Each structure stands twice: as C-alpha cells, then as structure tokens.
C-alpha cells in the first residue's frame, strides 16, 4: 500500500553515511554523534545498544528530523530510500513522518495525548497520511487495533488513554506506527516503561508484526538481552561513536571490542551465581515480618465521626517473611506490587499494621523504632540523585550517621575511610553530589548506609537507575561489603536475572500479596506458583541463547 516503489532489494531502506551531530552549548560544541555509518535493509531489525548519554536517542531524532535549535550537523547523509532527509524542508518532512517513517516512544502514557480518545489519535494518522474519510479511518482503525491483539477494538477506540493499561496503550502506539505501512520504524526503548510480563507480550507482538510487514526497524535499547531477542544485527554505540557492528550471534559469541565484551559481561546471567549458598535458615532469624499490612489514605473526617467503614488502598496485604543473619533475601515483583511499600514500612517511613520482630524484640508501630533499631536497619534508595541532598557536601552527608549512631571523633578520618571502603578517593568528601557520576553517587549512598554498621540493609531497586556496567560494579561492591561485615540484605528489584545471581532466597510479590518465598536455585522449578512461572518465562536471558 506504500506509495513509493521499493528499489532493488539490496538497496537499504535507511542509510546513514558518515553522519555527525553537534550541540552548541555555552561551553563550546558538544559532539553528540561522530561519523555514524549504519544501514537497515527491508525486513531487518537493527538493534542499537548503548548506555545513557551515548547518543542513541539523538540519532533517532536526527532521522526523524526533529532536532533542538542548538543542533548543528557538520556532515554526512541520512538516506531514506534515495531521498536525503538532510536536504528536505520541514514541509516535506511532515509528509514523510508517519507515512514513510514513524517512531514508537518509550513511555506510552506520555506519547499519547491524554485529552483525545485512542480512536481519534489513531484515525487522525490514517486521515492525514492515507486520505481516508473519518468514517473509513475509524473502521480501519478498529481493524488495526484488532491486528495488534487488542481484544475489544471497537470499545478501545472510544476509550481515553487513562482508561487503558500501559500495555494496551503501547499496542495503540504501535498500531498507529504501523498504520500507514511505513518503510522504516524507529523503536526507542518501547518496553522500558512496561512491566516484565507486558513487555514480553509487546516484544512478541513487535517481532510478529515486523516479520509480517517486513518494515526496516531500528530498535534502540540499553538492554543487550532484549536486543538479543529481537534484532538480527546489533550496533554498539559509545559516546556518539559506533564501536562495533555485526550480526547478533557474532556480537554475543565473538565480540571484537573491549567495550562490547564489558557490556556483555555486565549483563546479569542467572546461571553464574555470585554468592555461596552457605546461609542455612536458622531458628533465630534476624528479622521476622509477621502479617504486616500497609494501607494508604486517611479516614475521611465524617466517616470517622459516624464510624462508617471506608475502603482504603492496600499497599501490602498481611506479608510474613523472615531474614536470617547474613542472608540476602531478594524481593521481585512488577511495579505496584508493594515491594517498596514493605521496605518503607520496615524503615519507619510508612505506618503499618502487624508486627516486625527484630532480634526477638517486637515492633508494632513507628514509636517502637528507637535509635538502636534505626542504627541496625538501613535503607538505600533507587535514585542516588534524589537520596543525596544536593545542597550538602559529601562530608556532611557521610558524617551525619556517625554523629547520630557512632562516635563523632575524628570525623575527617572516618569519612575518608568510608569513602575508601566504597572505592572512592578520600578527596570526594569536599564535593557536592552533582559533581559525581551516577555510580559514584550510589557508592556514597552505600557508604552512608554502612556507616552505622547495620545488621540489615534494605536495597530498594538500587541498581535500576544505573547503566549495566556501573550496575555490575555496584553489585560487586555490595557483595564484597557483605562478605566483610556479614550484613543481611533485603534486595528489592524487578531484575530477575540479577536477583537469581546474588540472592539466597527470593520472595515474589504481586499486587500487595506475597506469592511465595523460595530458594534462589529453585525459582525455575516447575512446582512454582503460576505467577512466578510466568515471570521467569517473560525475562529475556541474553547469554543463554548463544551458549
């Protein structure tokens, strides 16, 4: 149905030749992309892999010709078929976008207009680019939605974005990207904002549609494992330069560049355990969580007076688990499953019902959490940017727990020792958090948690905001600290591969309920609960495919 004829099959659909991109900043030009050479043929998926800041998304916007005002293009060509996109005027590009080239974004909740129904947004594409009437477009839209696997397309057309789930919304976005049978589609991390099981379904849909339509796809991701599942060829980008390109098999089995090797090794592989299974469940656990429930929302004033029962939002529903001294207990689950809520209840940030027993001492409410308990139970948060006060120097951040829990003598030396313990130079004490990289900041947060010599450290998704290579080194550091101090960890994550590497036992949570707690080695046995099995199946495992 495309209006342009396809040239001979060996001409690529999208060719990028020697393309460079600079951003003008107050500190001179910043080279975002350097001499990029890429080609995508019809029916091919090219995976573009790189860490944050490597220029992946800049390349996507260059192809779409939607660059900020301070962008400069010193050279190169971007060819779609035989048209050089760099020479096209904005008017011409408008007719290209959506019809010959389209894009699927990371987060469907922000890429759809919240004030228009899903049907309108889909039909608009068809009306604009294929010249259909509204009525034709609407019927065509329904057919398209059925095509992307939505059960009730007619109703879905009338729904607003907030009435659809994340997965459903991303299906609609994909439907509108494929709506005009474009020659090329750019997928910019299309599953990153989705839950594990949903993203698996979206990925399957993508592969299916791709095979059916033969569209040339550029699949951008930071996740090598994901790309390994979809792409035929992979390009690795580092600081604006393509360092290596090849078929997926070549890249995984025989990487040529050190950087690629690093990236592949950094991807967590569940078959490579990083801890010894020598922690036996003891009769005297360090912490016992008994029937802990968390509810959100205040009782409305009137119903408090009249004594009427009100429905409250449940964050945790009667959770019971225990952690032995020196054990690493992993908690996995999708977003909204109540993992962090439990962590916050255990550190006194949420009110809870039920009781927590810490070394035999009973804690029933926030008032029972005295200084000794807070000293022994520390928490590390997900985003190091948010958990370190931007207006305090590292010295002040690290000296606080010492003043509260330990001896405040010779702070300089102690803070320096703490920094060395997490492998940061002592001189970092004089810096502000914004002068450190993401990984360094997370190290400071780890040092802060270990300052009081705690018996339990709760790690709340501490690696998910970090790049894979940084993530690996942070995990290594945590395990080292654990060996040296014998601290128990409650490790919360949505990364099943990672947790299978480091945890002794794994707790699976779903919508506020604890599904089960099992030994890490037994998580993939067929006796597991149905949800656990689905979760395990949905997780892509890069290395396993090629070994």
Partner 1 sequence: MIDFTKRLLKTPQGAIGIFLVVFVLLVVVFGPLVAPHDPEKLSPLARYKGPSLTYWLGTDQYGRDIFSRLLIGARATVVMAVLATIVGTLIGALIGTASAFLGGRADELIMRTIDAVMSIPSLLFALLVVNLLGSSTVNALVAVAIAFAPGMARITRSVALSVRKQDYVNAAVARGESAGYIIRREMLPNVIAPIIVEMTIRVSFAVMLFATLSFLGLGAQPPAAEWGLMVSEARRYMHLSAGILIWPSVAIAIVAVGFNLLGDGLRDALNPRA
Residues that bind partner 1 (CB under 8 A): 26, 298, 344, 347-349, 369, 371, 374, 378-379, 381-383, 386-392, 396, 400-401, 404-405, 448, 452
Task: Quote the least distance from Cβ 442 to partner 1, whole Å.
Answer: 12
Matching residue, tokens 């029933």: 364
39 versus 369: smaller Cβ distance to partner 1: 369
Task: Quote the least distance from Cβ 394 to partner 1, whole Å.
Answer: 13
Distance (Å) of CA 58 to CA 25, 115, 228, 238: 15, 28, 22, 13
Task: Quote the least distance from Cβ 399 to partner 1, whole Å.
Answer: 12
Contact 422, 480 (CB under 8 A): no
Distance (Å) of CA 128 to CA 121, 147, 172, 179, 283: 11, 21, 17, 11, 69
Torsion angle in degrees (nearest 10) through CA of 504, 509, 514, 517: -20
Task: Quote the least distance from Cβ 347 to partner 1, whole Å.
Answer: 4
Helical ranges in 148-195 per DSSP H:
153-158, 166-178
Measured distance between the N- and C-terminal CA atoms of the chain, rounded to whole angstroms: 41
| Tokens encoding 151 | 């059960």
356 versus 543: smaller Cβ distance to partner 1: 356
Task: Quote the least distance from Cβ 499 to partner 1, whole Å.
Answer: 22
Measured distance CA(342)–CA(348) in Å, rounded: 10
199 versus 442: smaller Cβ distance to partner 1: 442
Measured distance CA(364)–CA(369) in Å, rounded: 9
Task: Quote the least distance from Cβ 113 to partner 1, whole Å.
Answer: 22
Positive or negative: CA dihedral 440, 445, 451, 454: negative
| Tokens encoding 529 | 């609960």
Measured distance CA(322)–CA(222) in Å, rounded: 35
Task: Quote the least distance from Cβ 450 to partner 1, whole Å.
Answer: 12
Q: What angle do CA 204, 10, 253 make, to 5 degrees?
A: 55
211 versus 408: smaller Cβ distance to partner 1: 408
Task: Quote the least distance from Cβ 327 to partner 1, whole Å.
Answer: 21
Measured distance CA(171)–CA(177) in Å, rounded: 10
DSSP state of 127: H
326 versus 348: smaller Cβ distance to partner 1: 348
224 versus 456: smaller Cβ distance to partner 1: 456
Task: Quote the least distance from Cβ 70 to partner 1, whole Å.
Answer: 13
Instruction: Encode 425-459: b = buried (16+ Cβ within 10 Å), e = exposed.
Output: eeebbebebeebebbbbbbbbbbbbbbbebbbbbb
237 versus 465: smaller Cβ distance to partner 1: 465
348 sits in the region (left: phi over 0; alpha: psi -120 to 50; else beta) called left
77 versus 299: smaller Cβ distance to partner 1: 299
448 versus 505: smaller Cβ distance to partner 1: 448
Matching residue, tokens 């919360």: 492
The C-alpha R_g of the chain, in whole angstroms, comes to 26
Task: Quote the least distance from Cβ 452 to partner 1, whole Å.
Answer: 8
102 versus 350: smaller Cβ distance to partner 1: 350
Distance (Å) of CA 325 to CA 207, 278, 282, 504: 46, 12, 8, 12
């Amino acid at each position: 149905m495309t209006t342009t004829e396809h040239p001979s099959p060996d001409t690529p659909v999208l060719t990028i030749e020697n393309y460079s991109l600079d951003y003008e900043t107050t500190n001179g030009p910043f080279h975002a992309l350097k001499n990029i050479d890429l080609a995508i043929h019809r029916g091919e998926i090219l995976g573009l892999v790189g860490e944050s800041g490597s220029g992946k998304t800049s390349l996507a916007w260059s192809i779409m010709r939607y660059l900020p005002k301070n962008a400069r293009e010193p050279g190169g060509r971007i060819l779609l078929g035989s048209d050089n996109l760099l020479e096209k005027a904005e008017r011409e590009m408008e007719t290209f976008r959506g019809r010959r080239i389209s894009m699927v974004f990371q987060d469907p909740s922000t890429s759809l207009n919240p004030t228009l129904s899903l049907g309108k947004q889909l039909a608009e594409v068809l009306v604009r680019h294929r010249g259909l009437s509204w009525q034709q477009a609407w019927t065509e839209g329904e057919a398209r939605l059925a095509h992307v696997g939505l059960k009730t397309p007619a109703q879905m057309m009338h729904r607003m974005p907030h009435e659809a789930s994340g997965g459903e919304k991303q299906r609609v976005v994909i439907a509108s990207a494929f709506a005009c049978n474009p020659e090329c589609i750019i997928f910019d991390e299309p599953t990153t904002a989705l839950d594990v099981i949903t993203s698996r379904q979206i990925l399957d849909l993508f592969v299916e549609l791709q095979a059916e339509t033969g569209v040339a796809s550029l699949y951008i991701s930071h996740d090598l494992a994901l790309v390994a599942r979809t792409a035929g060829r992979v390009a690795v980008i580092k600081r604006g330069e393509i360092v290596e390109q090849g078929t997926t098999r070549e890249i995984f089995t025989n990487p040529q560049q050190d950087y690629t090797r690093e990236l592949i090794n950094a991807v967590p592989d569940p078959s490579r355990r990083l801890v010894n299974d020598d922690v036996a469940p003891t009769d005297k656990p360090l912490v016992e969580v008994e029937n802990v429930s968390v509810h959100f929302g205040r009782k409305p004033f009137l119903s408090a007076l009249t004594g009427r029962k009100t429905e409250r939002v449940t964050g945790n529903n009667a959770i019971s688990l225990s952690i032995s001294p020196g054990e690493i207990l992993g908690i996995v689950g999708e977003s909204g499953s109540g993992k962090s809520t439990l962590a916050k209840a255990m550190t006194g940030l949420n009110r809870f019902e039920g009781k927590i027993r810490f070394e035999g001492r009973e804690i029933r409410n926030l008032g029972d959490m005295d200084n000794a308990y807070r000293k022994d139970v520390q928490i590390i948060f997900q985003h190091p940017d948010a958990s370190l006060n931007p207006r305090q120097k590292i010295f002040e951040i690290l000296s606080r727990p010492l003043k509260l829990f330990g001896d405040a003598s010779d702070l300089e030396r102690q803070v320096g020792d703490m920094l060395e313990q997490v492998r940061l130079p002592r001189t970092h004490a004089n810096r502000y958090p914004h002068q450190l990289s993401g990984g360094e900041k997370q190290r400071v947060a780890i040092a802060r948690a270990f300052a009081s010599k705690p018996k339990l450290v709760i790690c709340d998704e501490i690696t998910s905001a970090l790049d894979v290579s940084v993530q690996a080194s942070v995990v290594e550091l945590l395990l080292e600290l654990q060996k040296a101090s014998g601290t128990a960890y409650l490790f919360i994550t949505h990364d099943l591969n990672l947790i299978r590497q480091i945890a002794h036992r794994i707790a699976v949570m779903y919508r506020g309920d604890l599904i089960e707690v099992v030994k890490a080695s037994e998580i993939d046995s067929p006796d597991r609960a149905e949800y656990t099995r689905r979760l395990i199946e949905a997780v892509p495992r890069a290395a396993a495919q090629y070994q």
